[in-house]
Structure 1
Amino acid sequence: MTTQQDKSIYTFHTSFGTISALKENGVIKAKSIRYARSERFKKPRPLEYAETQEISDKTPVCPQNVSPLLDRLIQKTDVEQFEADESPQFLTITRPEHFNEKEKLPVIVWIHGGSYEIGCGDLPTSDPSVWVKEQHIVIVSVSYRLGLFGFLGGSEERPANLGLYDMIAALQWIKKYICDFGGDPENITLFGQSSGGDAIAHLMIAEETDDLFQRAIIHSAPLGFRINRQKMSHEFFLKTDILKDEPDALKMVAGYSNFLPSFRKYGLKTSMPFCTQYGYPPLCREEETVQNWKQNAKKYDVLIGSNQDETAFYVKTSQTGIYTYLPHRILNKIVRKTTESIYEKPAKDFAENLAAGGGNVYQFVIRSTLKNNYIGASHCVDLPLLFENKEAWQSAELLKDVPWEYIQENGKKLRALWAEFARTGAISENSERPEILKLRKV
């Protein structure tokens, strides 16, 4: 446990301005650096210099609804720790404390998940300190607009894909300034989980992203939800028009929830009502996506995969609905079928399309090797492996009956492999694999 005496202020003098950071636990962390500003439904405006920044106890987040499911499965949200900001373009840089000024360290950019609807880059459950210290890398955690503010549009007045534009602005900032923090601007790997992984797949074919990153690590991207969304998105866009001028952003967020039940007719994809939208800048039309991924395949080294029991997170822990009455063998079949259709097969197709385009691609599966693990290797189980933080994860129902030593042992090996990929774009056959991992070169 870190005491106040273990913490000290560190100052970065950069071409962007003076940035205050906190030195603790063997890392230096510059929190909540504003990389851009935006007005409602407008593109982000990059900043040319650092705004006056004090180290705050509160983390800025895009206005959002609290998720009872994530509260139960991962960590109870303490709303007092967060400050809602409709312009949430912030990033946090974590760097090793012990550092040679002549070094240029590999950079991993964390794009958080949360169905394009909830979360932020800088959470205790995605604290990269252990990974940074162990592997001597720089990790940048990015926050961006979500939900109505970032991922639902369809007109000049309310453009689509503004959250993607925020990510692009963050990557442009990182490319320009990360060398002042010891990072190598020519060795940048994007790492995203769930919708964060989906966003990265789309940044690979978006306009304005050339030379902004070299590699992609894509975890549990729900690529099975990306197609045939136009009709649902357009209906959602029209229904939420009455909310667009609501001055109170939190009321606006609470208001759209009333429309969600009417979208159940669109099937499983309604569990992710917000998403990237094809046919609007900076993306191509849906029918052009596969060809564009193939054309861009040689630009990026890609590591993509999922967990073996992704949907157990939702199916086996449900406290309402039909799932609560079904026997385990039926639940297991539902988990297998939905995991395969939403995550596994789309990831396999994605990887094989990139390989067909001449890309350097690896595919992985994370599985549980514990006998008494009811949920198994569910959605998000990869996060405590990479972002080891016992205090943040200890009450997570996701890890019920999973010994913390199991997380530590497998996580350390996984972090080493993923850092190796971020450094070189390859994973050696001789590198030690954790027992939970199946990995293949495509």
Structure 2
Amino acid sequence: MKFQENTNTHLFKTSFGKILGLKENGIIKAKSIRYAYSERFQLPVAIQSSDSEIIFPEKTPVCPQNISPLLEKMIGKTDLDSFEVEESTQYLSVFRPEHFKENEKLPVVVWIHGGSYELGCGDLITADPTDWVKEQNIIIVSVSYRLGIFGFLGGSENRPANLGLFDMIEALKWIKNYISDFGGDPKNITLFGQSSGGDAIAHLMISDGAEDLFHRVIIHSAPLGLRQNRQKMISEFLKKTENFTAQSDTFEITDNYKNYLPSFYKYGLKAAMPFGTQYGFPPLCAEEEAAGKWKENAKKYDVLIGINDEETAFYLRTSDRINKFLPKKIINKAIRSTTEMIYGKPAKEFAENYAKASGNIYLFRIHSKIHNHHFGSAHAFDLPLIFGNETAWKSAGLVKNVPWKYICENGNKLRSLWTEFALKGKISDHTERPEILELRKV
């Protein structure tokens, strides 16, 4: 189908192909560009450039997954009519300022979404980067990749491990090759991820094949405390699901795998994230080699890493059972200890080890200082600050009783700081900080 550029669209004439973008709210969105393709339980194959014309689909492609009642309560209802379920979900979207100088090369931030390696996609409305792109004059690329059983459970001949990580590497290769055609600087690429997206980025830093594809990383709320000693749980999970083959029905897989999850409670906190990156399988090293690899690469990547002050309030303060039977003092103590165990202490140790290896690294912590804010600075509290978008967040339980003006004022300053880091790999002591932020160079 031939298409013509009009006042509401922009035609990117790239070396990958002609790509139609949509002008909206001062930016141009080129959405759902396929960067690779895969068969079930197979490595991704890069899409080659062609003379074809690429137009964004009506619905957003999303990997098969189960709806999370917790996310619906805390972040927002899922509009199923907006998504198209697809196993080969290797798509990315490019967001660029509409007003653009010829030959300008803008810094590029690549968004790797979270969701415990089993939920979400790159193009959720709550992570629409319009505000950030327009304010800070940068390009943001959001990446979708395979999730759950399709992307992060493997270890046998028929089920390779880390397929979702391989998807991300293919996306980064595409960005490196083609982002200059959108006005981006391929020599200034920063990865930004939250939760499992941040965990994935930490592992991309030590992945074979990811060398020279990015220069800086911003890691929010990575559950690094869950990364070790996972192989026994993964092996059991793999064995329980070995009846899922290339011929199995997609929805049968997503409907049935969750029945096995209660049997993993014996593994403790790790069972909260049954899917994930797997050491000892490509593109990753053995688990005992990971710390050494991060030290080896410390001079390659600038790092900004941190957490929210009450991460696990996202889970513990939403539980009716816990809140009914346990006093508030005990719940707060549990939030403090589990936040430090899963997020805080591992981030601090990562930062200190990286700095000892002469790496350039900053450590941050985000607080909520709103009185009567039930969830406080829980997991994902950073997302409305970074992405803005009041319409998407107005009904989210996570920010109930938080004035949007407060989020907007702190978010503007936070986006400015993070953009400064993406531009220069450092943050000046003189740049204004939001009141919610603790930040230091380690």
What TM-score do you get using the length of structure 2 for normalisation? 0.97
For each residue in 1:319-351, what CA deviation from the matched residue of structure 2 results, as whole angstroms up to 9, or x when unmatched? Answer: 3x4443211111100000000000000000111
Cα distance in 2, alignment partners of residues 324 and 196 from structure 1: 33
The equivalent residue for 2:79 is 78
For each residue in 1:80-127, what CA deviation from the matched residue of structure 2 results, as whole angstroms up to 9, or x when unmatched? Answer: 111011100000000000000211000000000000000000010000
The equivalent residue for 2:298 is 297
How far the C-alpha of 1:374 sits from its partner, in A, is 1.6
For each residue in 1:143-176, what CA deviation from the matched residue of structure 2 results, as whole angstroms up to 9, or x when unmatched? Answer: 0000001000011210000000000000000000
Cα distance in 1, alignment partners of residues 392 and 58 from structure 2: 16
Cα distance in 1, alignment partners of residues 407 and 35 from structure 2: 34
The equivalent residue for 2:205 is 204
The equivalent residue for 2:346 is 346
The equivalent residue for 2:161 is 160
Structure 2 segments unaligned to the other structure (5+ residues): 1-5
How far the C-alpha of 1:246 sits from its partner, in A, is 4.6
How far the C-alpha of 1:371 sits from its partner, in A, is 1.7
Cα distance in 2, alignment partners of residues 189 and 250 from structure 1: 35
Note if contact 2:316-2:322 (Cα within 8 Å) is conserved in structure 1: no
One-letter identity of the residue aligned with 1:40:
R
The equivalent residue for 1:3 is none
One-letter identity of the residue aligned with 1:219:
H
The equivalent residue for 1:103 is 104
For each residue in 1:161-205, what CA deviation from the matched residue of structure 2 results, as whole angstroms up to 9, or x when unmatched? Answer: 000000000000000000000000000000000000000000000
The equivalent residue for 2:3 is none
DSSP-derived class of the 1:338 partner: helix
How far the C-alpha of 1:318 sits from its partner, in A, is 1.2
How far the C-alpha of 1:358 sits from its partner, in A, is 0.7
How far the C-alpha of 1:16 sits from its partner, in A, is 0.2
**Amino-acid identity (%):** 64
Cα distance in 2, alignment partners of residues 133 and 244 from structure 1: 45
One-letter identity of the residue aligned with 2:195:
S
One-letter identity of the residue aligned with 2:89:
P
Note if contact 1:90-1:142 (Cα within 8 Å) is conserved in structure 2: yes
Note if contact 2:33-2:56 (Cα within 8 Å) is conserved in structure 1: no
The equivalent residue for 2:428 is 428
Cα distance in 2, alignment partners of residues 251 and 10 from structure 1: 41
For each residue in 1:22-49, what CA deviation from the matched residue of structure 2 results, as whole angstroms up to 9, or x when unmatched? Answer: 0010000000000000001111000112
One-letter identity of the residue aligned with 2:43:
K
User: Cα gap change, 1:254/1:147 in structure 2, threshold over 3 Å: closer, same or farther?
Assistant: same
One-letter identity of the residue aligned with 2:378:
S
For each residue in 1:232-286, what CA deviation from the matched residue of structure 2 results, as whole angstroms up to 9, or x when unmatched? Answer: 0000000011122453212211110110011111111101110100000000000
The equivalent residue for 2:130 is 129
Cα distance in 2, alignment partners of residues 249 and 132 from structure 1: 36
DSSP-derived class of the 1:297 partner: coil
How far the C-alpha of 1:52 sits from its partner, in A, is 4.6
Q: Report the aligned-residue RMSD.
A: 1.1
Q: What are the equivalent positions in structure 2 for 1:49-64 lying under 5 Å apart? A: 49=49, 52-64=53-65
The equivalent residue for 2:330 is 330
One-letter identity of the residue aligned with 1:437:
L
Cα distance in 2, alignment partners of residues 322 and 211 from structure 1: 47
DSSP-derived class of the 1:33 partner: strand
What TM-score do you get using the length of structure 1 for normalisation? 0.97
Cα distance in 2, alignment partners of residues 334 and 7 from structure 1: 55
The equivalent residue for 1:414 is 414
Note if contact 1:196-1:221 (Cα within 8 Å) is conserved in structure 2: yes
Cα distance in 2, alignment partners of residues 324 and 139 from structure 1: 43
DSSP-derived class of the 1:242 partner: coil
How far the C-alpha of 1:433 sits from its partner, in A, is 0.2
Cα distance in 2, alignment partners of residues 338 and 150 from structure 1: 27
The equivalent residue for 1:176 is 177
One-letter identity of the residue aligned with 2:112:
I
Cα distance in 1, alignment partners of residues 353 and 275 from structure 2: 25
One-letter identity of the residue aligned with 2:145:
Y
The equivalent residue for 1:117 is 118
Note if contact 2:17-2:53 (Cα within 8 Å) is conserved in structure 1: no
Cα distance in 2, alignment partners of residues 404 and 160 from structure 1: 42
Count residues with an aligned counterpart. Answer: 436
One-letter identity of the residue aligned with 2:333:
K
The reply to whether residue 268 of structure 1 matches residue 251 of structure 2 is no
One-letter identity of the residue aligned with 1:135:
Q
One-letter identity of the residue aligned with 2:331:
L
Q: What are the equivalent positions in structure 2 for 1:271-282 lying under 5 Å apart? A: 271-282=272-283
One-letter identity of the residue aligned with 2:150:
F
How far the C-alpha of 1:435 sits from its partner, in A, is 0.2
Cα distance in 1, alignment partners of residues 175 and 352 from structure 2: 30
Cα distance in 1, alignment partners of residues 38 and 219 from structure 2: 27
Note if contact 1:246-1:252 (Cα within 8 Å) is conserved in structure 2: no
The equivalent residue for 1:68 is 69
How far the C-alpha of 1:57 sits from its partner, in A, is 2.8
